[in-house]
Amino acid sequence: MLTENQIQSLCDFLKPRLSKKRFTHSVNVANEAQKLAKKYGVDSDSAFIAGYLHDCAKELSQEEQKELMSRSDFPIDKVEYVATPLFHAIAGAVVVKEQLGITDAGILTAIRYHTVAAPNMSGLSEVIYLADLISEDRDYKDVKHMRKLSYESLNGAMLEALRFSINDSVKKGNAIPVSTLLAYNDYVQRNKLSKEKRENN
Ligand SMILES: [Fe+2]
Ligand SMILES: [Fe+2]
């Protein structure tokens, strides 16, 4: 379990970097991620840390975010290079690694993919992706439905979230990052398999 000192030092790092609103969002995502982690047998300290830090680069300038991205070890596709709202996830993983010395691959991956998702996501990455969508401060039309779904099935909630995200991008005329499409295909398959399993039992 994280000690109060560990949480305090994360807070000392994060708080000066974010507006009050985004800091509150980060705390909410950390708490939600911890709850989901407990429900699904994911390491809850990792969930708290990744949730807390997921938006740490969001209020840096676009130039700073781009510069951080150039040092990322993760693959970045063409769509992500031009979609400015997606920069902060890739940049955030670099900040966490370089400035906090966190090298845990699970945490770094969860932060990096919290905007676009990816195929073969770990439970931790799923928990962060969903916690970001359903945290207490979120208020959109289907948020209640997403909250309910997130506590029923990770695969089901991820598929629904990706469906929404892809539909929304298409409506707005935006391109879709390859990892989002691969994630969607992955969750279609995972849900199909679990449906077949249920039917055969
Ligand atoms: Fe974000
Ligand atoms: Fe967020």
Q: Which amino acid is at 38?
A: K
- Domain chopping of the chain, boundaries: 4-200
Distance, in Å, from the CA atom of 11 to the CA atom of 65, rounded to the nearest integer, reads 21
| Residue-level pLDDT at 23 | 98
**What is the arithmetic mean of pLDDT over 86-106?**
98
User: Letter for the amino acid at 190?
Assistant: R
Residue 87 · residue 165 · CB < 8 Å = no
59: number of Cβ within 10 Å: 14
**Residue 153 CB neighbour total at 10 angstroms:** 15
CA of 132 to the centre of ligand 2 (A): 5
* Ligand number, closest to the Cα atom of 65: 1
State which amino acid sits at residue 172.
K
Fold of 4-200: Hypothetical protein af1432 (1.10.3210)
Beta strands (DSSP E) in 11-65 are: none
The pLDDT tens digits for 125-184 are 999 999 999 999 999 999 999 999 999 999 999 999 999 999 999 999 999 999 999 999
Q: Rounded to the nearest whole angstrom, what is the distance from the C-alpha of residue 25 to the centroid of ligand 2?
A: 7
> For the segment 186-196, what is each residue's pLDDT rounded down to a tens digit?
999 999 999 99
Nearest to 37 by CA among 24, 26, 28, 48: 48
Q: Is the pTM of this model over 0.85?
A: yes
Going by pLDDT thresholds of 50, 70 and 90, the confidence category of residue 201 is confident
Question: Is residue 123's pLDDT more than 90?
Answer: yes
CA of 41 to the centre of ligand 2 (A): 22
Residue type, 20: K
Nearest-angstrom CA–CA distance, 46 and 42: 8
From the CA of 98, how far away is ligand 2's center (Å)? 20
Reported as a single tens digit per residue, the pLDDT across 43-92 is 999 999 999 999 999 999 999 999 999 999 999 999 999 999 999 999 99
